[in-house]
Amino acid sequence: MGDEHSLIPKDSFIFKLPKKSPLVLRMVVLMFVMVCAVYICSICLKQIGVVPSAGFLNVEVFEKQCPEPNIEPWDIPYVHYPKPKTYNREECSCNPVRNFAILSMQRSGSGWFETLLNNHTNISSNGEIFSVKDRRANVSTIFETLDKVYNLDWLSSASKNECTSAVGLKWMLNQGLMKHHEEIVDYFKTRGVSAIFLFRRNLLRRMISVLANSYDRDNKMLNGTHKSHVHSPKEAEILARYKPLINTTLLMADLKQVQEMTSKALSYFNTTRHIFLYYEDVVKNRTKLDDVQEFLKVPKLELKSRQVKIHHGPLSQHVQNWGEVQTTLKGTGFENFLLEDYRK
């Protein structure tokens, strides 16, 4: 049959949408997009800790978690992530820091040694902090001072930057260290502090340096200024002109006393993580500084110091009564101190 005989009109299959239908569709799509956006935002807010509570937003701040360091299990207690109160470590907040203390005696090369460490980009050693008596008045003041140092809140000329990798100080045995050794050993173990022992093998040389430094403190040979350490050969030559007179009656007892104090210190702090150095060995063999850098787990660099040694050459040139000193020490356990044991 032809189309003209169809009982159903052609127009009956044509649906005519209202003229405003495009606007309605747009509204529907817009509503859908808004619902999706709200949902996605709510998921994000939950992930960052922003949760609506009682009509307000309760914002929780999550601290950045530092990745676990790739170290041996035994080494974990010596790795720290300090949060200074005086500044923000910012991008270095996850740089691990190691705590150390140089344990030594006056005129044993610790000042020179510390300048070498501070020559390293990542090491900050803050000097002889406990030379100030108030800081070592009791255990509480000692711990309070140490906390500032190891929290990177002790600001000094040795302070580096936010990315310091090893921080410490120079601590003489007679500055409360031996008196409160039990409490300090516990502190070292709790706070993961590593000890660097630095002593002088030749105690007679140390004695001469102590006497000469004491004389200059009273007489100020450098234009009325006392200097324990110098940075020019001329200044060193001026200070070396003074030749102390050694009391040979007390010489043996004094040397034994220093020797015993050194032995006690090693005994007291033997259970801490530590490294032992003689000043003479560091002078003769600079690879000892590589050992120290390895001990502190910092990159190995060539370390330099501007300090100039004061007393050079044979000891006979630096003592007034050298003959008496020789007679006193010959045939004793200290006779080897009479020899020139190193050059610099």
What domains, with CATH codes, occur in the chain? 76-338 (3.40.50)
Q: Which residue has the higher pLDDT, 13 or 333?
A: 333
* DSSP assigned state of 296: T
* 0.85 exceeded by pTM: no
Q: Is residue 199 classed as helix, strand or coil in its secondary structure?
A: strand
CB 311 within 8 A of CB 208: yes
Nearest to 198 by CA among 304, 265, 103, 114: 103
Report the C-alpha gap between 287 and 18 in whole angstroms: 91
pLDDT tens-digit profile of 35-88?
A: 777 677 666 555 554 444 444 444 444 456 788 888 899 999 999 999 999 888
pLDDT tens-digit profile of 113-170?
A: 999 999 999 999 999 999 999 999 999 999 999 999 999 999 887 777 668 999 999 9
> Helix count (H) and strand count (E) of the chain?
10, 7
pLDDT tens-digit profile of 168-216?
A: 999 999 999 999 999 999 999 999 999 999 999 999 999 999 999 999 9
Judged by average pLDDT, the poorest of 82-91, 287-296, 303-312, 323-332 is 82-91
